[in-house]
Homo-oligomer: A and B are copies of this chain.
């Protein structure tokens, strides 16, 4: 109930409960670094800062919302949470959070990931969560799909349906979501609030704020507190970076659409490629989502945020450049932000301008080394979305209410 209240809250500030702070302080405030070695490698006059969220036990920004979500559920007597996970970033974060508050956690993990990415699954199990390969025989939705295709490898859409069905059927169980929604973005804003204070300590303020976007939560977490200044007249660019294979902001439609494939959520006004969109199998699993957080989409419409699409090969090139200058091996998702930051730094160099760039390094790549292997061995390819996919989305979405 508290999370629903936050979802629709008009308050400017919502306090972080002491019990949540108590856990946050295991890794928060997360560090803000100046990437001096990267600046030197690029020979740029630009100053590059990054906020590093990989220091959480789960290795990304996701616990920032998993912890309060588990906390409020615990306070209201919820004994079990279900959720879905693809690559496993969100599932592992919720497993961690539930474990802190003595809540049972059940994760429906897309079967192909369950089989191919055992490490994140083992992480969840280490924190006491039960992990089921989806589609499973534990729900109607799962059984229906298995009947049709016993070898189905699953999808995020199916896993959501299973997790939601279980929560709907059991009184002691609720469902938790790791991105897109307003309350998730609110929880993530701790990133930007800290970054503002840290930039102040460094005697600096960004000209450009950059983050990668899947559902939008890590970007919003960093950028929204700065955009607050921008809306009051401060000069600032906010750049949301997405894969060219899943270009929700740069090529998607602003329309009412469902958040999930199975059409179980309410309609939301957002940038979308259509709820039936099936993204290519790029190596940044966390960015393969058809929609975009409504709050973030709204700010794009208002001209406060610009979108930028980048290709996978140039992203890994940036990831390796970053690892070889700064040391930290980034998650492929976060490397989208690095790519854009490097591009801006090189533009500044060409223009002979002193720009200050701040990006969100949302997670480390310790569980993504297989992607690096694919990159090093030349197996990765770029993929640009064909126009037919946009036409298809238009056809799907034309029957829903108009957005303006």
- Residue ranges of A at the interface with B (Cβ–Cβ < 8 Å): 23, 26, 33, 37, 55, 57, 59, 96, 99-100, 118-119, 122-123, 125-128, 320, 323-324, 326-329, 366-367, 369-370, 372-373, 376
Contacts and interface: CB of A to CB of B under 8 A. Distances in A.
Nearest to A122: B369
Copies of this chain present: 2
Nearest to A92: B329
Scoring A320, A367, A369 by chain B CB atoms within 10 A of each residue's CB, the highest score goes to A369
B327 A372 contact: no
Contacts of A123: 329, 369
Given A23-B327, A127-B323, A366-B367, 13 more contacts: A26-B33, A55-B55, A99-B324, A100-B327, A118-B370, A119-B366, A119-B369, A119-B370, A122-B370, A122-B376, A123-B329, A126-B324, A126-B376
6 contacts: A57-B327, A57-B328, A96-B327, A125-B372, A125-B376, A126-B369
Scoring A118, A126, A324, A367 by chain B CB atoms within 10 A of each residue's CB, the highest score goes to A126
A57 B329 CA distance: 7
Contacts of A59: 366
Scoring A326, A373, A376 by chain B CB atoms within 10 A of each residue's CB, the highest score goes to A373
Contacts of A55: 55
Contacts of A372: 122, 125-126
